[in-house]
Structure 1
């Protein structure tokens, strides 16, 4: 079921809540410039195993409202906290992919991991995001030819073969975002660092990362593993930036085992 949660005056986030009567809860935070639908191949499987899956579109993306401001990690993490409070979530697993992983890390540090029992970071854009050179190039493209920029992102997203139909579907997910929010996140990924946040993560943490990731180097996953206490790193040897799809059976089973 889908519904909206008001996170501040005039701003509502879209929430997809699958199997709300289920047992253990998993909250999914998508990557840039996508939305909750990127986790379709988790939502297809995990609810039938008894898990309640909650996908949140950040402000500016997917079906959520698209205000002109509020795209720093603090505000994005605060939005997630509001959803957690409204839905009265507790003892849940927080899964963040790419920039969603960065938002999850800020949530853990800023809100003391409120309600979170386990953390899963999937090819997380942390502790750093874009280099200045990368960000400036993406920013120029986003403000002049956003479809071309999104297509270039998609072209380096996957290690395994994808069909033209799947590529078009994934591309359209990116177009559902606003231009200004797409650009604002580029600036956030360029300017904000998460080193100080890592030591505040105290829950068991699973780090999943595609070995062939061209967006976030595998070395960053190794650094997260070194700096987050009680963490484990699982390399995905046949994945780029999308192990949740490229090795989805392995990913779903690993998630199930980790959560229990």
Structure 2
């Protein structure tokens, strides 16, 4: 574990586990979390002999809480700084939610020569916001509500999200994992309120249509059919039509947080894709 300094002087925290000569798998976390959200996947792939790498996005987790640069361009550039500093090549890049947007821009702009494949898990591309051209998206007033809740009582907001829609714990008959809720809240509160506030605009209003079109490496798109945070109709079902070499797998009943609560299923599918 250590820190990488970006071109604009920001300290980015990263984890780097496993044999240096092994194929690297790079994990990109979602909003407002940290690299800790990939614990189940990092331990799994480490046990399979891979080198596993993950970083905390600027303003998130243990990375520097700077005031600026909380947008998809900087997210991707920061990921590139980590990959360059660690001399990663032939890497698999796996991104969840906002991290999926980070992966899409990273691979499209920075990572194609060094990337083998990409995986988008419950990811935001191509566009979350509802517009005339994207009627399946989420209305702006929903994101305005996020901003209001975060600004007025971030601690409560960061309990309500994981206790409700993020993991589908608000569904009738759901098995609620209190530790998972607490861990989500812990990760969120480690980060900067400014980074999280600005990040709402980044993940909701960034149109990544051209990023998806530019990706030529094989790309796996995974999405839960009961995702209440990033609706599948506005994301995965559109993303797969834009990718040059994409494969889509959906999961009935799975939530936005499926990489945690359904880690056994996700890990097996990720391993199958990586090894093929």
Q: TM-score, normalised by structure 1?
A: 0.95
Matched residue SS, 1:143? helix
* Structure 1 counterpart of 2:225: 211
Matched residue SS, 1:145? helix
The aligned runs of 1:145-224 (5 Å cut-off) are: 145-154=153-162, 155-159=164-168, 160-219=174-233, 220-224=235-239
* Structure 2 counterpart of 1:117: 116
Could you tell me which runs of 5 or more consecutive residues in structure 1 were left unpaired when the two chains were aligned.
none
* Structure 2 counterpart of 1:235: 250
Q: TM-score, normalised by structure 2?
A: 0.90
CA contact (8 A) 1:236 1:243 kept: no
User: Which of 242-251 and 65-74 deviates more?
Assistant: 242-251
- Cα distance in 1 for partners of 2:180, 2:29 equals 17
* Structure 1 counterpart of 2:74: 75
- Cα distance in 1 for partners of 2:204, 2:225 equals 23
- Cα distance in 2 for partners of 1:119, 1:100 equals 12
CA contact (8 A) 2:91 2:117 kept: yes
The CA deviation at 1:150 is 1.7
- Cα distance in 2 for partners of 1:179, 1:84 equals 26
Is 1:8 aligned to 2:23, yes or no? no
Matched residue SS, 2:214? coil
User: Which of 111-120 and 135-144 deviates more?
Assistant: 111-120
User: Which of 185-194 and 70-79 deviates more?
Assistant: 185-194
CA contact (8 A) 2:158 2:184 kept: no
The aligned runs of 1:8-47 (5 Å cut-off) are: 8-21=7-20, 23-47=22-46
* Structure 1 counterpart of 2:267: 252
Could you tell me which runs of 5 or more consecutive residues in structure 2 were left unpaired when the two chains were aligned.
130-138, 169-173
Which of 130, 142, 145 is the equivalent residue of 1:137?
Answer: 145
The CA deviation at 1:83 is 1.0
